[in-house]
Structure formats: structure tokens, C-alpha cells
Amino acid sequence: MAEEATPTELITCTIDGMVLQVPKGTRIIDAAAQLGIDILHYCYHAALSAPAQCRMCLVEVEKAPKLMPACVTTVMDGNVIHTQSEKSLKSREGTLEFYLVNHPLDCPVCDQSGECKLQDYVAVEGRAMGRLAEPKRIIGRDDFGGDVLYEGDRCIMCTRCVRFMREVAQDERLGVVARGHRMAIDTFFEEGMEGNIWADNVVDICPVGALVSKDFLHKARSWDLDRTPSICPNCTQGCNVTLQVRDDEVMRLKPRPNEEVNSYWMCDYGRLNYSWINRGGRIEAPLVREGERLVPTSWSDALVRLSELAKGAAGGVSAVVSPFMSNEDLGAARRVIAALGGGEGVFRVERGEEIVLPGFPQLALREDRAANVHGAELLGFTRAGDDKGKGGLQNAAVHGGVVFVMGDELADAPADFGTGASLFIYVGHVLSPAARNAHFVLPATTFAEMEGSFTNVHHRVQRFWPALHVPAMARPAWQILGVLLAGVRGVDAPATPADAFSLLGELRAEYGELRFSDLGAQGRPLPRLGALAETMGD
């Protein structure tokens, strides 16, 4: 007989006049957060150990002889806690003044300006005027290697970066050196941060501008950036991220917390591999072949003509799709293949070494370097090509029936790819030489310009939202193919991403047990996960 779970013991406390019940062992800072009270802090981070050394989170606990650090002090039954008492406010004011003794006033040129905790806290609770008469210390800039720069003058010695490398990356490349006012963060034995693909996480968790990214250095101001929740497209882990955009261009990717997928972290490969999202040369209008030329036309004209030709297509379909396309796109592609007589569908994906984050082993840079490999497999597409994702298109290249390509740029395809097809349909983003052989070229959006979902390596279905404007006449592939199917089969075309997602249940029953609206910002695992894993040989 299975043992019954021991019920969690609850204790009652009062924080700033509000009564709260929390599990025994809860820290004051976490209990306050449940009431919407943000206790100021620097060294504390939810995913790291708490050294209680920044002294910003000191609060008054009635009957305690002195102020208590909220990041390590657990709530006791009956505690009455004051975060805004005169003693607490005076303590924080003094601590902030101490930090400003040596901190340079270079906010106008600091990348952290606008999202800096020192800047914010001083504005709210700091002294109106400083009292320092002596010169500030000078440490200067240090290149830590990789994408990380260290601005020593700004460092407040919270040691978050040191603890991340020790506890989470488990690659102790950083440490505190010297003593007193000469203390600084440094790398060990001339060995920098290069070679560790988790290094840029120290930039994310730095509460001030001491650690900055070379990639983002002086590129944009934080208040100019629009932030959109999304999914990292660069491997099957599916890290939750925000796309940070200015002037319709992605400036950087930042991890978005999700304890089931990536905690607070992401790898540098995914973080820095975003330039392809911003590239120009996109297909801007539907193109229809007239003799030797591809002629721009309207959507209605292109899809009406394509529907008529598709009705009479013979010889079956040879399809190539991309694992960067959404579940909704891939489901629509599978239905188009069935409507045109059926046939094989393949995808190609670049592969590389899998690198696990030791302190959070659920997270890894996965071997498959595309977001929706498992979604493609579940929806009936098979792998092709070598380990670098090249080749494997021989059957499609010589196919005499219908050739259908969605998302794959055909960069390594032969110049005569698809020329023997009775009908060649290309749905994609850029026009490569091989794609120019198509009879119909239909411009599609990328994941950053549409709403949809991916299925990650653990079969978790996760949503993303549009961060960029759609280029010219491009449309989501599920929408394009839905209208095409309406013309070929007379069925209703999906009007929304939720409609397109609901149709996935016709192809794979597990998707039918989820609703698009239920995915939320954190995603949901596909039901019957064990059966799926067995089917896929995981």
C-alpha cells in the first residue's frame, strides 16, 4: 500500500498588517512576495543559495533583538513583520548610500539603465543627496571572455555570478579576489568564460550594470524595447524567452522563467543565434509562374489558380517541411499532402553535441537544433539528410508528381530541384535558386511574426506570440494552406490559431485533448506522455 503524503504544516504570520498562511520553512522574502510585497534585495535569487550579504532585505520582526535578513530568515508561527518600519527604511537608506560610495554615476551610458535595481531602489528609498567627499575607487573594465564584459567600478559584490557558475553551471570560473575596498570579481588563472555555453546567464542575473553582453553593448536602451513572450527556436529544449524588439528588429533574447522547462536560464547558442530572424530579402508577395518568369499577384488569384491545378494533380506528393515551423503549420501541411493524393513528408535538421546544465539537468542544448522536431515527428514527418541537415532531397528533386516545400530554404538543393514535377509549391520566407523553380511561391511568416505553438523534447506544447510586423503580404502557413484546402476540398478554413490547433486532433489524438487557450504562457504536456515516448523510441 502506497504511503500517504504528509500534509504540509501551515503557519500564520502578519506582514505589513496583512495576515498570511504559508508552509513551515518559508523565507520571509518569499512569504512577502505572495502578498505582492517586494522586499528590496540584491544578493538573493530564487534559484541560487542565499548568502545574506547585501543587507538590503533587512526587515523588522517584532520581539526580535535586531533587524533580520528576509532572504534567509524563515517565518515562525505568529511572527509580526514590518518591511516599511522606520528602522527598516533607515537601514536600507544607509545601505544604498554605502553602495553609492564607489558606484560611478554613468547611468547615461550603462546598458543596465532602465532595469537596474540600484537605480530603482535609490530613486524610491535613497538619500536625496550623497555625502561622499573622497574620490571613488577605480577598477576599470575586464574582458571575461566569450560574450561577457565586467565593469568593475559598477560591481556591488552581490556574488550572484560567482554562485551561478559554482552551483548551476558547476564550472567555477569566477571568484571574489582581494579584500576591503579593493574587492572585485575575477576569472581564475587566466581562464575566462569562453567555452562555457551558459556564461551569459550571469549577465541576466547581475542586478546592476557590472556584467554586460558584448553582443548588446550600446545597441539599445531598455525602455525602447518591446518585450514579447516566445519560445527559443534554436533547439528542441524549447526554452521560454522574451523577444526584445526595437524598430521591428530583434535586439536580444532573454530567458523567461518556467520551472518545468528552463528555470531562469538558457544557453548562449540559443541566446545569440537570432540574426536570421532579422534578415532581409524576404518574399513579399505571392508569385505565380508564367513561362520562365515568376509574376507577383494577389492572394485570391494565386490560391484560386493553385486550387484548380491541385484538384487535377496526380502522381502523389513528395513534401519537404522545416522543423522551425509551428505545430499548426505542420498540421496544415499534412492535410494538404493527404488532399493531393498522399505521399511521403520529410524534414531536415542540423544536429550537434548535447550539453546539459549540471545544476538544472532538465535543461540542455539539445542535439536537434530546431524547435519543433518532435512536433514534426508526431504529425507524421520523418528525418532526412545527414547529421548537418544537408542532402536527403533526392526523391523530391526527381519526383514527377507534386513537390511541396514548406519552410526549408533548399539552400543546398541542386539547381534543377523540382523541375520534373507536375506541380511545385513553395511556401517559405526567402527565394533560393532552387525555390525559383516553383510554379507557386507563397510568402509565409516566421515564428516571430505569428501566434502558434511548438512541441519540445519532453512533448510539452508551448505557445509563442508575434513580436515583429508581418513583412508585406506574408501570412502564416496554416492560414495559406487552410484556404488552399477550402478550395480543394470545400472545407472551412481555420480563422484563428486556436482553430488551426484544434484541427491537430484529427491527425494525432493527443493534441485533441488540449485546448489552445489552456496552454497559457507556460505550456502544457501532451496527455499520455508514456505512450508517446514509447512510440517515438525515446
Which set of grid coordinates corresponds to residue 61?
Answer: 520582526
Which residue type occupies 199?
A
Q: Are residues 363 and 487 in the same domain?
A: yes
Is residue 523, in this structure, part of any structural domain at all?
yes
CA distance 155 to 40: 17
User: Do 484 and 524 lie in a common domain?
Assistant: yes
Residue with cell 533583538: 65
> At which of 208, 224, 240 does a domain end?
224
**Is 28 among the domain residues?**
yes
Q: What is the pLDDT of residue 1?
A: 42
- Determine the Cα–Cα distance for residues 422 and 313; give it in Å rounded to an integer: 7
Same domain, 94 and 110: no
| Domain final residue, candidates 177, 201, 224 | 224
511 and 424, same structural domain? yes
Residue 7 is predicted with a pLDDT of 65
Give the HSE-up count for residue 397: Cα atoms under 13 Å, Cβ half-sphere: 12
Q: Where are the alpha helices (DSSP H) in 179-298?
A: 201-205, 268-272, 275-278
Last residue of a domain, one of 197, 224, 251: 224
The CATH number of the domain holding residue 162 is: 3.30.70.20
Q: Is residue 2 part of a domain?
A: no
- What interhelical angle do 327-339 and 477-489 show, nearest 10? 20
Give me the domain span that covers residue 380: 287-536
Assess whether 71 and 220 both reside in one domain. Answer: no
pLDDT at 133: 84
Q: Residue 268 falls within a domain, yes or no?
A: no
Looking at the fold, whether 89 and 111 belong to one and the same domain comes out as no
List of E strands, 330-422: 343-347, 355-356, 364-365, 382-383, 402-406
Question: Tens digit of pLDDT per residue, the chain (538 long)?
Answer: 445 545 689 999 999 999 999 999 999 999 999 999 999 999 999 999 999 999 999 999 999 999 999 999 999 999 999 999 999 999 999 999 999 998 998 999 999 999 999 999 999 999 988 888 888 888 989 999 999 999 999 999 999 999 999 999 999 999 999 988 889 999 986 778 998 999 999 999 999 999 999 999 999 999 999 999 999 999 999 999 999 999 999 999 999 999 999 999 999 999 999 999 999 999 999 999 999 999 999 999 999 999 999 987 777 899 999 999 999 999 999 999 999 988 989 999 999 999 999 999 999 999 999 999 999 999 999 999 888 888 888 888 777 789 999 999 999 999 899 998 999 999 999 999 999 999 999 999 999 999 999 999 999 999 999 999 999 999 999 999 999 999 999 999 999 999 999 999 999 999 999 999 999 999 999 987 544 444 443 3
Asked if the structure places residue 278 within a domain, the reply is: no
Instruction: Give the other-Cβ count within 10 Å of 453's Cβ.
Output: 27
Q: Check: CB of residue 183 under 8 Å from CB of residue 176.
A: yes
Query: Is 63 in the same domain as 177?
Result: no
Residues forming a β-bridge with 20: 13
- For residues 164 and 205, the answer to whether their CB atoms sit within 8 Å is yes
479 in the same domain as 505:
yes
Q: What is the pLDDT of residue 4?
A: 54
By the 8 A CB rule, do 37 and 82 touch? no
Q: Which residues contact 124 (CB under 8 A, 6 or more apart)?
A: none
Same domain, residue pair 63 and 187:
no
Q: Return the CATH number at 48.
A: 3.10.20.740
Please give the Cα distance from 534 to 538 (Å, whole number).
6
> Which residues are within 8 A (CB) of 281 and not within 5 positions of it... i.e. 6 or more apart?
430, 431
Residue 538 is predicted with a pLDDT of 38
Q: 148: which 3 cell numbers?
A: 561577457
Tell me the whole-structure pTM to 2 decimals. 0.93
CA-nearest of 206, 157, 160 to 183 is 157
Q: Is residue 5 part of a domain?
A: no
Please check whether residues 138 and 195 belong to one and the same domain.
yes
Lay out the sheet containing 460-464: strands in order across: 452-455, 460-464, 524-525
**Structural domain includes residue 1:** no
Same domain, 477 and 347: yes
- Name residue 186's beta-bridge partners: 175
The domain that contains 406 carries what CATH number? Answer: 3.40.50.740
Contact present, 345 and 362 (Cβ < 8 Å): no
Domain count, the chain: 3
Q: What are 337's three cell numbers? A: 499532402
Q: Do the domain assignments include residue 4?
A: no
Mode of pairing for the β-strands spanning 141-145 and 18-23: unpaired
Assess whether 325 and 358 both reside in one domain. Answer: yes
Determine the pLDDT at residue 6: 58
Q: In what order do the strands lie in the sheet with 343-347?
A: 293-296, 287-290, 440-443, 423-428, 402-406, 317-321, 343-347, 382-383
